Structure 1
Amino acid sequence: MILAHGIGALRGLGLAALCAATLAACTPADQDRLTRDAARAAITPVLVQRFPGVPLEPALECIIQNATARELLALAADSLTGPTANTVELVNSIVSRPDTLTCLLANGLPALL
């Protein structure tokens, strides 16, 4: 059991190192796109669980557009391990911002409010 956990942790570290190396080899625009795509992967299960039936794409875009660079990187990191309580807290924080709320309303998503 401990060995299996250790191997899983090593795989996670290897995946993280591979991702970091891949990002380092990309242009800034590619890095941004990859980070945002990874962040979407972490945000999606949170939205599905907390707001079932809400159209995902518009909600994802509003959250991504209103997240800071640091938040996007944290969410992207969460995509490697799966969403945690911190992921949920971060998504809730971004959703509660006035600019995010305005975006959600403009896209017809009052269910998140």
Structure 2
Amino acid sequence: MKRLSVLIVLPLILAACTPATQDQIARDAARSTISKVVVDRFPGVPVQPAIDCIIDNASSTQIFALAADSVTGPTQSTVEVVSDIVSKPETLTCLAAEGLPALIR
């Protein structure tokens, strides 16, 4: 029920913003959710580079879903969305380029 109300209210809030602001608000909210999933599901992975790679390779639909989860907290669906993004070849390439160097610093 709480998730449903978030999905109804979030678009109304975002509608009052410019497209660039909408995108930034959604990405910031999605980052919060992704951070929780990365820390919980991928221990030892450098969090900031992983979040950047995941955000950069997420579709707008995925970002919006993750942004909505920032209010209700991560669910199994959240984990699945993040896992789907992480499994994309582009994300894996980004993680290898950005995440691995962070591990050896």
Q: TM-score, normalised by structure 2?
A: 0.84
Match of 2:99 in 1: 108
Match of 2:73 in 1: 82
Q: What residue identity is the alignment partner of 1:69? A: S
Q: 2:20 aligns with which of 29, 32, 35?
A: 29
Q: TM-score, normalised by structure 1?
A: 0.78
Match of 2:87 in 1: 96
Q: Distance in 2 between matches of 1:94 and 1:14?
A: 23
Note the residue ranges of structure 2 that are not aligned, 5 or more in a row: none
Matched, 1:64 2:55: yes
Regions of 4+ moved over 2 Å: 12-17, 19-22, 108-111
Contact 1:59/1:109 (8 A) holds in 2 = no
> Which structure: larger Rg?
1
- Alpha-carbon RMSD: 2.3
Give how far 1:15 is off.
9.4
Q: What residue identity is the alignment partner of 1:37? A: D
Q: Which has the higher contact order (CA 8 A, sep 6+)?
A: 2
Q: Distance in 1 between matches of 2:100 and 2:68?
A: 27
Contact 1:42/1:79 (8 A) holds in 2 = yes
Count of aligned pairs: 101
Identity %, equivalent residues: 57
